[in-house]
């Protein structure tokens, strides 16, 4: 273990001397390749990260959890079959069609937008690993700060290619709307026995629903390919920054803040690793601050204030902390509410733990190389990684200042001990 210092330097300019974050990412990609959830590659990566963090942290542990590794693609198949069953029911039992669609929509809402694992218990299970390293402060612990990312990678999703992105989102929302159209068609058909003029309208709506069914089948076929991506930016970029932070704070320890450096597994199938971690450690982390990182190796850095799909609004305290820290680093960081997808910060926000995510987006509003075969080490760069690193160090500086006790007779209560 490196010798500790009681105060955190004001700048992170010298932080990664002798440590290339992008080189570390390249090493993981070369050693383990794609790290799909529940695979041996994911497990081996977790062991490698634990070994690496053990060089810098006072305590390192791996926690294993069970989950369903195919919950996303199998879930899409389930909702497709439910929709096709509702189409068939329209012809013979319109009321059953309504029941199926309503059941499907409720299930989709709670499983996709609220994170409940309803279908997963019927799918095959696997194991995933979370890796945690702890760095204790030199003095009394007054707060825990978590820096986190995830080491699993995703399946290749061709519809996320730039040329298909607009079509993907339009198709997604059309298919969701088609469920409502099919309900209307079935209800009008039921009423058509008494009001025959409603039947032609019902048939038109059913025709639209039928077209949607054909599109739904094509959507399912092309949504996932059985090929894993390297995930250099999503999300080894974050993991590399987290390891760099552990390395830095091993020799620049805060006085009152305990640091948890964490890499989650099974993020790509619905935040399963972080969800289980937040549940298990929720009482330890009641007054903690979680700064999650997501795809910080390219693009424009932002502070995520909320995630619309997950229905979460992240801590304004943490969002402001990130923005203020970025300003101190000379970076103007906008805040956004993510329109699609989820980050591991959601798992903590849902448990009442203060959290937010530092992420990046391209000019078109999508993350760089998201779930694409081009998500390789060649498409991330060290300056972006270092900027994320510097912001995190400055976040810790600000938290440490807020935790420090004022010296007797001091005018300001925000002075850092040892300065």
Strand partners, 294: 359
The percent of residues in the chain predicted with pLDDT above 70, rounded, is 92
CB-CB contact of 321 with 335 (8 Å): no
What six digits make up the tokens of 81?
């079959």
260-278 average pLDDT score: 97
Q: What is the DSSP string of 52-87?
A: HHTTT-SEEEEEEEEE-TTHHHHHHHHHHHHHHHHH
- What global pTM score does this model have? 0.89
Q: Tell me how long the chain is.
A: 419
Type and span of the H or E element at 149: strand 143-150
Q: What is the DSSP string of 156-185?
A: P-GGGSGGGHHHHHHHHHHHHHHHHHHHHH
145-166 average pLDDT score: 94
Give the pLDDT of residue 365: 75
> Which band of pLDDT confidence, cut at 50, 70 and 90, is reported for residue 303?
very high
Q: pLDDT tens digits, residue range 179-238?
A: 999 999 999 999 998 899 999 999 999 999 999 999 999 999 999 898 999 999 999 999
> Which band of pLDDT confidence, cut at 50, 70 and 90, is reported for residue 406?
low
Distant-in-sequence, close-in-space partners of 130: CB < 8 Å, separation ≥ 6? 46, 62, 63, 65, 262, 263, 264, 265, 273, 274, 276, 277
> Which band of pLDDT confidence, cut at 50, 70 and 90, is reported for residue 418?
very low
The alpha carbon of residue 273 and the mean position of all alpha carbons in its chain are separated, in whole angstroms, by 10
Q: What is the mean pLDDT of the chain?
A: 91
What CATH number was assigned to the domain covering residues 21-69+124-157+227-403? 3.40.630.10
Q: Flag whether pLDDT at 5 surpasses 50.
A: no
Give the pLDDT of residue 411: 40
What residue segments make up the domains of the chain, in order of their start?
Answer: 21-69+124-157+227-403, 72-120+160-223
Q: Flag whether pLDDT at 10 surpasses 80.
A: no
The percent of residues in the chain predicted with pLDDT above 90, rounded, is 82
The alpha carbon of residue 138 and the mean position of all alpha carbons in its chain are separated, in whole angstroms, by 32
Give the pLDDT of residue 114: 87
The alpha carbon of residue 409 and the mean position of all alpha carbons in its chain are separated, in whole angstroms, by 45
CB-CB contact of 340 with 309 (8 Å): yes
Give the pLDDT of residue 416: 38
Distances (CA, A) of 311 to 174, 246, 335, 347, 348: 20, 31, 17, 11, 13
Q: Flag whether pLDDT at 408 surpasses 80.
A: no
- CA dist 269 and 280 (Å) reads 19
Which of 151, 186, 187 is closest to 294 using CA atoms? 151
> Which band of pLDDT confidence, cut at 50, 70 and 90, is reported for residue 410?
very low
- CA dist 166 and 152 (Å) reads 26
What six digits make up the tokens of 235?
């999300």
Q: What is the DSSP string of 232-263?
A: IIIIIHHHHHHHHHHHHHHHS--SSEEEEEEE
- CA dist 319 and 366 (Å) reads 20
Give the pLDDT of residue 339: 83
Give the pLDDT of residue 419: 31
- CA dist 414 and 419 (Å) reads 11
116-120 average pLDDT score: 91
Which of 21, 210, 194, 204 is closest to 97 using CA atoms? 210
Give the pLDDT of residue 162: 86
């Amino acid at each position: 273990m490196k010798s500790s210092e009681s105060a955190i330097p004001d700048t992170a300019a010298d932080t990664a001397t002798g440590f290339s974050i992008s080189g570390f990412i390249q090493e993981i990609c070369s050693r383990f390749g794609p790290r799909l959830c529940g695979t041996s590659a994911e497990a081996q990566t977790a062991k490698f990260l634990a070994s690496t963090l053990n060089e810098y942290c006072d305590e390192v542990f791996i926690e294993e959890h069970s989950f369903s590794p195919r919950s996303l693609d199998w879930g899409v198949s389930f909702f497709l079959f439910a929709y096709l069953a509702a189409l068939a029911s329209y012809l013979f039992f319109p009321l059953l069609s309504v029941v199926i669609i309503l059941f499907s929509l409720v299930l989709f809402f709670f499983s996709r937008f609220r994170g409940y694992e309803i279908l997963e218990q019927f799918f095959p299970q696997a194991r995933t690993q979370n890796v945690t390293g702890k760095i204790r402060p030199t003095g009394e612990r007054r707060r825990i700060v978590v820096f986190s990312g995830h080491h699993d990678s995703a399946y290749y999703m061709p519809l996320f290619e730039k040329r298909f992105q607009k079509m993907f989102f339009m198709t997604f929302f059309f298919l969701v709307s088609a469920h409502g159209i099919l309900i209307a068609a079935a209800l009008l058909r039921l009423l058509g026995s008494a009001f025959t003029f409603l039947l032609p309208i019902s048939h038109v709506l059913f025709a639209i629903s039928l077209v949607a069914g054909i599109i739904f089948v094509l959507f399912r076929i092309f949504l996932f390919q059985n090929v894993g991506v390297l995930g250099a930016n999503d999300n080894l970029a974050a993991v590399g920054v987290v390891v760099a932070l552990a390395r830095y704070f091993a020799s620049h320890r805060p006085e009152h803040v305990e640091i948890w450096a964490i890499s989650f597994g099974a993020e790509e199938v619905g935040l399963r690793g972080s969800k289980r971690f937040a549940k298990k450690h929720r009482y330890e982390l009641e007054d903690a601050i979680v700064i999650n990182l997501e795809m910080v190796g390219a693009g424009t850095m932002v502070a995520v204030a909320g995630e619309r799909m997950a229905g979460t609004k992240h801590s304004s305290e943490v969002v402001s902390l990130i923005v203020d820290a970025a300003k101190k680093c000379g970076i103007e960081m906008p805040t956004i509410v993510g329109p699609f997808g989820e980050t591991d910060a959601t798992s903590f926000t849902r448990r009442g733990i203060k959290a937010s995510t530092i992420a990046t987006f391209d000019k078109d509003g999508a993350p760089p190389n998201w779930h694409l075969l081009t998500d390789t080490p060649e498409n991330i760069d060290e300056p972006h990684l270092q900027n994320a690193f510097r912001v995190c160090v400055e976040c810790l500086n600000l938290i440490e200042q807020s935790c420090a006790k004022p010296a007797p007779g001091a005018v300001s209560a925000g002075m850092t001990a040892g300065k």
